[in-house]
Amino acid sequence: MEWYRFVSHGRVQHVFYRKFVSQALMREGFNGYVCNLDDGTVETVVFITDEESELSRVVQILEEGSPMSEVEKVEYEIVDGIEIETDGFEIRY
């Protein structure tokens, strides 16, 4: 059980990408958040309990994106020592 930080690159801002991601991950029962970064990428932080099955599902959702987005790549890493207060999945501004 770990917090993962994903960064999505490509055309992912101003195309409803955050809304798509937050709704899809909420439907799947994940906890975390999604937010725009100043460099034009989007950060998604997700709590994953079963790396074998859940990690690939999260990456699949992030790579799919909204109909208007064009995701070029998704990078991720495990984040140690993170404390996030959330009871679901949210969009942060």
Which entry of 5, 11, 36, 57 is annotated as an active-site residue? 36
pLDDT at 7: 98
Q: Is 27 an active-site residue?
A: no
Say how many domains are in the chain: 1
Q: Examine the pLDDT at 83 and tell me if it is beyond 90.
A: no
Q: Is 18 an active-site residue?
A: yes
pLDDT at 1: 87
**How many other CB atoms are found less than 10 A from the CB of residue 41?**
18
pLDDT at 20: 98
Residue 30: which domain range?
A: 2-92
Which entry of 18, 27, 31, 92 is annotated as an active-site residue? 18
Query: Closest Cα partner for 72 from 17, 5, 1?
Result: 17
pLDDT band of residue 21 (cuts 50, 70, 90) is very high
pTM: 0.95
Stated as kind and residue range, the H or E segment containing 57 is helix 51-64
Distance CA 77, CA 4 (A): 6
Mean pLDDT of 31-60: 96
Stated as kind and residue range, the H or E segment containing 51 is helix 51-64
